A and B are shown apart, each in its own frame.
Chain A
Amino acid sequence: MTRKPVGRRTLGAVALGGAAVLLPGLARRAAAATPDEIKRRGQISVGVLTDYPPFGGIDENQKPAGYDVDVAGLLAKALGVELQLVPVTGPNRIPFLLTNKVDMLIATFGITEERSKQVLFSNPYSAFTTYILAPRSTNIRGPEDLKGVRVGVARASTQDSALMAVAPREVRVMRFDDDATTTQSIISGQVQAIGASSTVLAQLTANYPNLQIEPKFTLRAQANGMAFRKQDEALRDWSNSFIASLVQSGELDRIHQRWFKAPMDPLPPMPQF
């Protein structure tokens, strides 16, 4: 019974991964999306997540809402254009961008070396830390303790690649579609640990206090950037100064307060590869 969905997920991963690899070479050289061109057409389409609250979730009217959506709103306002939000998922966001279905992504997209081969990143505009989470009783102190341990992660996520980078070969990784199903896997005991952010930890602590989930070690401090197609350097440059102005005016901190009920830590510097 459980094999079939996993098979589908794997297929989906292969299909989307294949698309992501093939697309840059094939993609039509569309007229670059520049700030001027966007102003002329009076509209910008931005890919956001809807299944990753509070960064990108939905409000009570089931419309996209969250930290990313607020940033996108201000960005459209600064450009003086209408905002069109396009819901994307973690695994399909690169194909959406590269096949011109969106102008840019504001989708809690961690800046990594691999991804920067395919897309152009802005400077970080949000950040979070991912951990290996497990019940207090589980004895995990560092990556080497993961030998033979079943660890759940959301596929195509940065915690997935970060885990693969540090974990010993004997780790048994189970990849799920998103954070909710990853979380479910530790609740129902299919995995002994998961890789996830502090947001997930807060949800687990609130909903399932009896599991006594705690962070075991840090996987990765993740800096998130907006993402653009390779040729859209002008839009990237414009967005960088837009992010700087948000930080300067304290607007970004207010968005952070609204969604995380806490002031924002200083943004990490742009990762260099």
Chain B
Amino acid sequence: MRSLGLNEILFILAAARWTLLLSACAFVGGSVGGILIALMRSGRIKALRWFAFGYIKLFQGTPLLMQLVLAFFVPGIFGIDVNPWGAAALGLSLHASAFLGEIWRGSIEVVPRGQWESSAALGLRYWSQMRLVVLPQAFRIAIPPTVGFLVQLIKGTSLASIIGFVELTRAAQVINNATFHPFTIFGIVGLTYFALCWPLSAYSKRMERKLALASR
């Protein structure tokens, strides 16, 4: 039997880089998807509005765990080989697209109607209205909930352990099965997640306060 030494603890801590990388990938992928979903959902084309609505409901209404399992095993059925890393990045990106899309749709719709009308009166078309008038205002509103979701996303990466992707949680499981020191190991893991998420939460809080001041 192994003992729990520095080597094992370093292995667990080093696995946190995969947690971070996976979160970053999912956030970038989710941002691209999210902006598309938000634009479709708040746009004027009915078919796209319904598509975005369905997409959001589907991904918000099913567990992330299922989405990851499906993203990993379904392509294999059709002969497409995805590794755990690709499947986890894809699954989390699709998941993040739905949530970020909904957050950003809300932020876009909160921008007062008058802003649309007055920019239209200035002769601006949809894309210019969006880019010059609406999005800059929506952006500020969106920051706190977006960062809040990012914290959820970081914690959500732990579910990628089910498909064998070795990130922080999976590394801890493997070491725990070799050394049998669950309290120490999962204590370290919990603290590591906290160290990653807490600064983000604090940042989000600060932005919220700043925004409240700015709009008073």
**B-contacting residues of A (Cβ < 8 Å)?**
8, 11-12, 15-16, 19, 23, 26-28, 30, 50-53, 57-58, 60, 62, 87-89, 91-92, 95-96, 99-101, 177-181, 183-184, 202-203, 206-207
Binds A, one of B108-116, B159-167, B193-201, B204-212: B159-167
B176 and A180 form a contact (CB under 8 A): yes
A179 and B182 form a contact (CB under 8 A): no
For residue B215, CB closer than 8 A to chain A, the reply is no
Residues of B within 8 A of A184 (CB): 180, 182
Residues of B within 8 A of A30 (CB): 79
Residues of A within 8 A of B159 (CB): 8
Residues of A within 8 A of B164 (CB): 87-89, 92, 96
Which one, A16, A101, A177, A179, contacts B76 given CB within 8 A?
A101
For residue B143, CB closer than 8 A to chain A, the reply is no
Contact flags (1/0) for B47-78 with A, using CB distance below 8 Å?
00000000000000001011001100100111
Which one, B1, B2, B65, contacts A8 given CB within 8 A?
B65
A58 and B174 form a contact (CB under 8 A): yes
Given A58-B178, A87-B164, does the pair A12, B173 have CB atoms closer than 8 Å?
Answer: no
Residues of A within 8 A of B70 (CB): 15
B178 and A57 form a contact (CB under 8 A): yes
Complex formed: what's the CA distance from A206 to B1 in Å?
A: 9
Residues of B within 8 A of A16 (CB): 69, 162
Complex formed: what's the CA distance from A53 to B70 in Å?
A: 29
Residues of A within 8 A of B63 (CB): 8, 11
A53 and B178 form a contact (CB under 8 A): yes
Closest B residue by C-beta to A200: B180
Residues of B within 8 A of A15 (CB): 65-66, 69-70, 162
Complex formed: what's the CA distance from A63 to B191 in Å?
A: 25
How close is B132's CB to chain A, nearest CB, in angstroms?
45
12 contacts between A and B (CB under 8 A): A8-B159, A12-B69, A15-B66, A26-B77, A28-B77, A50-B177, A51-B176, A53-B178, A57-B177, A99-B77, A178-B177, A181-B176
Q: A11-B66, A207-B180 are in contact. List 12 more A-B contacts (CB 8 A).
A: A12-B69, A15-B69, A27-B77, A28-B77, A28-B79, A50-B174, A87-B166, A91-B162, A96-B164, A99-B73, A202-B1, A203-B180
B79 and A53 form a contact (CB under 8 A): no
Complex formed: what's the CA distance from A202 to B182 in Å?
A: 17
Chain B interface bracket (under 10, 10 to 19, 20 to 34, 35 or more): 20 to 34
Closest B residue by C-beta to A89: B164
How close is B159's CB to chain A, nearest CB, in angstroms?
7
Residues of B153-185 contacting chain A, CB below 8 A: 159, 162-164, 166, 173-178, 180, 182
Contact flags (1/0) for B74-102 with A, using CB distance below 8 Å?
00111101000000000000000000000
Residues of A within 8 A of B69 (CB): 12, 15-16, 19
Which one, B78, B163, B177, contacts A180 given CB within 8 A?
B177
Complex formed: what's the CA distance from A89 to B164 in Å?
A: 7
How close is B173's CB to chain A, nearest CB, in angstroms?
6
How close is B136's CB to chain A, nearest CB, in angstroms?
39
A95 and B73 form a contact (CB under 8 A): yes
Residues of A within 8 A of B163 (CB): 92
Residues of A within 8 A of B176 (CB): 51, 180-181
Question: Most chain-B CB neighbours within 10 Å: which of A60, A101, A183?
Answer: A101
Closest B residue by C-beta to A199: B1
Residues of A within 8 A of B73 (CB): 19, 23, 95, 99
How close is B1's CB to chain A, nearest CB, in angstroms?
6
How close is B157's CB to chain A, nearest CB, in angstroms?
14
Given A15-B69, A87-B166, does the pair A28, B78 have CB atoms closer than 8 Å?
Answer: yes
Complex formed: what's the CA distance from A202 to B1 in Å?
A: 9
